[in-house]
Amino acid sequence: MKKYRIWYIANIPRAIFYAEVVSVKEAKFALRLLISYSNYLDKLISSHICGLEVFKNGEWEEWGNNKGQSINDILDGERS
């Protein structure tokens, strides 16, 4: 079973928030929630960045689908 985790930084350069998720679908849900919350707190959070990692060969690396898209590419496509 693959291991996934999301990462999120609000008000760069702050500390990175990590949370393990069980699937890409759950990652999309969690990241959408974090992004929506950041947009709600617009005056307090001036910038944010996020991503999804997968655990491979003993290391965390950025996730990409079989089309070469990152989780951010997918989320951006859903907002268009």
Q: Which carries the bigger pLDDT value, residue 37 or residue 16?
A: 16
| Per-residue pLDDT at 5 exceeds 90 | yes
Q: For the chain, give every domain's residue range.
A: 4-79
Contact between 17 and 9 (Cβ < 8 Å): yes
Cα angle value 22/32/76 (rounded, 5°): 110
Chain segment 24-79, per-residue pLDDT in tens = 999 999 998 988 877 777 666 667 789 999 999 999 999 999 999 999 888 888 76
Enclosing H/E stretch for 27: helix 24-40
pLDDT for 42 equals: 66
| Per-residue pLDDT at 19 exceeds 70 | yes
Give me the amino acid identity at 59.
Answer: E
pLDDT for 79 equals: 62
Global pTM value: 0.78
Confidence of residue 21 (pLDDT cuts 50, 70, 90): very high
Cα angle value 20/26/31 (rounded, 5°): 80
